[in-house]
Structure 1
Amino acid sequence: MNAPSFEPTFDADDGRYHLECSWDGRDQPGLVVIQAVADVLGRDPLDLEPLQATVDVDALTKLLTRHETPSLLVTFEYADATVTIDRSGSVTIDPD
C-alpha cells in the first residue's frame, strides 16, 4: 500500500508552498509534514531527520485534531524549512 500524496503548490506572491489537509482522521499531521517538506526540498522522505526530533508528533496530532481548539497555529523548523500548520488544515512550508 502506498502512502498518500501531499503535494504543496508554490505561491509566487509569498514565495512559500501551501497545502490544505483535513485533520478529521483522514490526514495525519506528521505524515503530511514529512512528505510535503520532502517534496518541497526535492528529497526522499526517508532521508529527512525524524520529525519526532523536532516536534512531539503525538502532541501535535492531539492539538490539531481536538475540536476544543478552533483556532490554533503551530510553527516550527524542520529539515531546512519553516513549517506552519493551523487547525483548519492549512500547511505552509517556507524553505530556508
Structure 2
Amino acid sequence: MTVEDAQIGGAEFTADSRVRRGMWGQREEDTPVYAVVSAVADVTGDDPCDLPPLARVIDPDALNALFSSDSASEDTVVRFQYVGHTVVVTGAGDVEVLTEAEKEE
C-alpha cells in the first residue's frame, strides 16, 4: 500500500481544520484498519508499509469487526494512540488523526 493508494482509497482532508479524515467503504480494501493506516501515513508523511504494525496498539480484526457489525452505530467511537497521535474511529465511517497541537486546542 502506498500513500497514493490511500488517497485513491477515499482519504478526505478538511480545509477548515487540521484533522485528517479517511472513510471506509464496502470494498474489501476499504476497512477501518486500512483507513487508519492510510490517514496516519498521510499525517506523518511515512509510507504506510513503514509504520509499526497496528496490532501493537489495537486488535485490527476486532476493530474491523466492531465497525462492520450491525451493533455499531454512528455514535460508536474508538480512540487510541498510534505513532504519537490520537486516532479516533467513528461509526459514521470517519477516522480522525490528531496531532499533539490539535489535542491541546
Query: What TM-score bracket applies, with the shorter chain setting the length?
Result: 0.7 to 0.9
Q: 1:86 aligns to what?
A: 90
- Unaligned residue ranges in structure 1 (runs of 5+): none
- Aligned structure 1 segments of 4 or more residues deviating by more than 6 angstroms: none
* Matched residue, 1:44: 47
Deviation at 1:90, TM superposition (A): 1.1
Q: Is 1:63 matched up with 2:85?
A: no
More moved, 83-92 vs 62-71: 62-71
Task: Specify every segment of 5 or more residues in structure 2 that has no aligned partner in the other structure, as ranges.
Answer: 101-105
Q: Is the partner of 2:33 in helix, strand or coil? A: helix
By how many angstroms is 1:87 displaced? 1.1
Give runs of aligned pairs for residues 13-24 of structure 1, distance below 5 A: 13=17, 15-22=18-25, 24=26
Query: 1:80 offset after TM fit, Å?
Result: 1.6
Asked if 1:9 is matched to 2:13, the reply is yes
Q: Verify the 8 A CA contact 2:20 2:39 in the aligned structure 1.
A: no
Percent of aligned pairs with the same amino acid? 30
* Structure with greater strand percent: 1
Amino acid of the structure 2 residue aligned with 1:63: L
